[in-house]
Structure 1
Amino acid sequence: MGPNYTEAERYYQAQKRVKKIREFYEHLTVYVLVNPIVIVVNYMTSPGYLWYIWSLMGWGIAIILHGLQVFSYPPFFNKKWEERKIREILEKENQKFENKDGNRF
């Protein structure tokens, strides 16, 4: 069973999610609008070396990772990973505390 959110909390969470989705689409739009300019500049300045491919690939990978994160498809760094990592850190801190004092409160 998930946490029991009030209507205001649910609205706030939905608002944050919509903002992240909007930011992803803005990022994608900039990618689509800027890269044709990069390609033209490459062909005008140094047609012998197609360096725009590196821009397309690097930025494209960033777009893919951003989309995976926004739409909750990442194989890592998702909410479950965050919760697991928080528990792991707290357990390590508790172990340090127990080892330091010899007992626990």
Structure 2
Amino acid sequence: MSREDKVYQQAIEQVSKIKHFYQFLLKGLLLCVALMLINVVTSPEYMWSLWVLVAWLVIASLKWVSTFGFGALFDRNWEKKQVEKRLSQLSE
């Protein structure tokens, strides 16, 4: 396998990880909203669904770091990359 093939394969794997992260995020948010609604309807005096939300946020944070890396939170080039991304989208 050539170097270009390896780089291409790594890019595909990274995009797949990012896709799975966003799917996880969407499903988790929908689940937490549903649990909060159930909680409010069945037992509004104790918000047990907040414990689920906190646990899910911790897991989502760990998954974020696993997917994007810890440096993604503090990347100095992030703003520049986002501007370039938006410019390329606008020019299409």
TM-score (norm 2): 0.71
* Candidates 26, 31, 39, aligned match of 2:23: 26
Distance in 2 between residues matched to 1:53 and 1:29, nearest whole Å: 17
Root mean square deviation, CA, Å: 1.3
Aligned residue pair count: 70
TM-score (norm 1): 0.63
**Structure having greater relative contact order (Cα 8 Å, sep ≥ 6):** 2
Distance in 1 between residues matched to 2:69 and 2:34, nearest whole Å: 31
Structure of larger gyration radius? 1
Distance in 2 between residues matched to 1:69 and 1:59, nearest whole Å: 15
* Candidates 40, 55, 59, aligned match of 1:58: 55
Structure with bigger helix share is 2
Distance in 2 between residues matched to 1:59 and 1:35, nearest whole Å: 8
Q: Percent identity of the aligned residues?
A: 31
Distance in 2 between residues matched to 1:49 and 1:38, nearest whole Å: 13
Q: Cα offset for 1:68?
A: 1.0
Moved over 4 A (4+): none
Distance in 1 between residues matched to 2:30 and 2:41, nearest whole Å: 18
